[in-house]
Amino acid sequence: MKARTLASAASRGPAPRGDVRRPALFGMTTVALRLVVLRCADLARAASFYRALGFDLVEEQHGAGPRHFSCTLGDVILELYPQGEGAASAGLRLGLRVSDVAAVVASIRAAGVGAVLRAVDDPPGALVRDPDGHRLELEQAAAR
């Protein structure tokens, strides 16, 4: 069987956005995002921000590990951990699809945590920053 090269895969053009069925290159397997951990200087403040976004956070603690918050977004688990002595995650930028961008922006403003950096109406979208500097792009989900 002839080995697939990067050039032959590229000749077919880019895969449609969001398509996780891309062909394996050089014997690699398909990859799917499963876990995102954000390090937070003030865990309670971060939890308030993400609850204002609509996240259904659950407080957890595994054995003697640190108290943290967790929620499931589709197939991905998002966890908020205390900053502690671990590396900061402030450079991270996430993209989220929400049902109503304007309502989420209003909720963030009402909660008084984080910041709305930019909000646009057409198409509905926003760029927000959590209390720890993580930036989140909000995109409005298509009406069903």
Q: By the 8 A CB rule, do 130 and 49 touch?
A: yes
Least reliable range by pLDDT among 45-49, 62-66, 88-92, 103-107: 88-92
* Domains by residue range for the chain, with CATH: 33-83+92-140 (3.10.180.10)
Enter the pTM of the model. Answer: 0.76
Tell me: the pLDDT tens digits for 10-68?
Answer: 344 444 555 555 555 666 788 899 999 999 999 999 999 999 999 999 999 999 999 99
28-41 confidence digits (pLDDT tens) = 788 899 999 999 99
pLDDT at 91 over 90: no
Instruction: Give which of 122, 124, 123, 104 is closest to 114, Cα–Cα.
Output: 104
